[in-house]
């Protein structure tokens, strides 16, 4: 497992490729944004002019793109991955898509004699940069073992959850937990600020107790310092939460809090905050409470 094709050089894709190169893999990259490709070739990657070209000669092809329909278009067609991949190639989709889509991709890939893993990640841009992503995998154990050294260059924990689709549904569950936590942090800091407390001091007081979490540590400082530069934009998280609700609807499963969260995100979209980091969820609460979460010490 030496030659890797990598498609999708966004916020997450670029640092993931950097870590693959650092680990000694030969990486051929493709993206519709030429500047992103040029950044990676400057680091030692080879450039492809199509998804098909990125797959030619690859032992494993990774897709890391915004949505399921984009994954489907990358896999299929005369210039798609499957037109260039040899039989036995591992195709790993590390995008956030629905489990239904992942199962469809697995069937499509199998028809071409290749193996498929749905392997979405958690950890955001910092995890991608540090190579400490949590990678949740759906697929066959034997296929994962072949791919494990590749994943290990990008992630700290690699967990086989179950068959194809299991990785994607785990990512959706992850997104529910993360984004509802951000909403909870938002409500808590709105409460504290409205009562006259400094939100930074409140954060420092509670982070060592039961309320402490990775989400709290990552997002509370962004809120009280008014830094909404996206690591995980609301746009991407709204897409994920929409996938959650569509998946739940297909199972006739009510997800009450997640449904409310989806509407909060739509409100933020309507008010121009779609490309803010999802710590910017706090801005919805600010708009209805008449208070701004800001520390005098930030």
* Euclidean distance between CA atoms 193 and 122, whole angstroms: 30
pLDDT score of 193 more than 90: yes
Q: To which H or E segment does residue 121 belong?
A: strand 121-122
- The mean predicted confidence, pLDDT, of the chain is 97
Are the C-beta atoms of residues 80 and 73 closer than 8 Å to each other? yes
pLDDT score of 232 more than 90: no
Q: How many whole angstroms from its chain centre is CA 119?
A: 10
* Euclidean distance between CA atoms 143 and 160, whole angstroms: 10
pLDDT score of 298 more than 80: no
- Mean pLDDT within 52-56: 98
* Euclidean distance between CA atoms 264 and 57, whole angstroms: 46
Are the C-beta atoms of residues 272 and 226 closer than 8 Å to each other? no
pLDDT band at 1 (very low <50, low <70, confident <90, very high): confident
- At 110, list the tokens: 């199998």
Which tens digits make up the pLDDT trace of 245-271?
A: 999 999 999 999 999 999 999 999 999
81 contacts: CB under 8 Å, gap ≥ 6: 5, 7, 51, 52, 54, 55, 61, 63, 74, 75, 91
Task: With H, G, I as helix, E, B as strand and everything else as coil, classify residue 167.
Answer: helix
What domains appear along the chain, each with residue ranges and CATH number?
3-163 (3.40.50.720), 169-289 (1.10.1040.10)
Which tens digits make up the pLDDT trace of 106-159?
A: 999 999 999 999 999 999 899 999 999 999 999 999 999 999 999 999 999 999
Instruction: State the catalytic residues.
Output: 171
* Euclidean distance between CA atoms 167 and 176, whole angstroms: 15
pLDDT at 42: 98
pLDDT at 231: 83
pLDDT at 169: 98
pLDDT at 297: 85
pLDDT at 173: 98
pLDDT band at 171 (very low <50, low <70, confident <90, very high): very high
- Mean pLDDT within 2-30: 98
Are the C-beta atoms of residues 123 and 15 closer than 8 Å to each other? no
pLDDT at 261: 98
């Amino acid at each position: 497992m030496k030659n890797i094709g990598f498609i999708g050089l966004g916020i997450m894709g670029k640092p993931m490729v950097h870590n693959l190169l650092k680990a000694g893999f030969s990486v051929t990259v493709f993206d519709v944004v030429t500047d992103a490709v040029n950044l990676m070739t400057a680091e030692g990657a080879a450039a492809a002019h199509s998804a098909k070209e990125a797959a030619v000669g690859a032992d494993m092809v990774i897709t890391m793109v915004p949505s399921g329909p984009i994954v489907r278009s990358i896999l299929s067609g005369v210039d798609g991955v499957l037109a260039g991949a040899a039989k036995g190639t591992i195709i790993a989709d590390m995008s956030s898509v629905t489990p239904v889509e992942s199962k469809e991709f697995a069937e499509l890939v199998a028809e071409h004699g290749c193996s498929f893993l749905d392997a979405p990640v958690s950890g955001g841009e910092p995890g991608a940069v540090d190579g400490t992503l949590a990678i949740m995998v759906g697929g066959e154990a034997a296929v994962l073992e072949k791919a494990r050294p590749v994943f290990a260059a990008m992630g700290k924990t690699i967990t086989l959850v179950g068959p194809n689709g299991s990785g994607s549904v785990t990512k959706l569950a992850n997104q529910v937990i993360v984004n509802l936590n951000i909403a909870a942090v938002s409500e808590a800091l709105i409460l504290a600020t409205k009562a006259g407390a400094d939100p930074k001091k409140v954060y420092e007081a509670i982070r060592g107790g039961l309320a402490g979490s990775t989400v709290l540590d990552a997002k509370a400082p962004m809120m009280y310092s008014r830094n909404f530069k996206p690591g995980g934009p609301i746009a991407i998280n709204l897409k994920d939460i929409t996938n959650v609700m569509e998946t739940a609807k297909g199972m006739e499963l009510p997800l009450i809090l997640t449904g409310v969260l989806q509407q909060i995100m739509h409100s933020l979209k309507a008010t121009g905050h779609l490309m803010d980091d999802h710590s910017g969820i706090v801005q919805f609460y600010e708009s209805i409470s008449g208070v701004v979460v800001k520390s005098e010490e930030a």
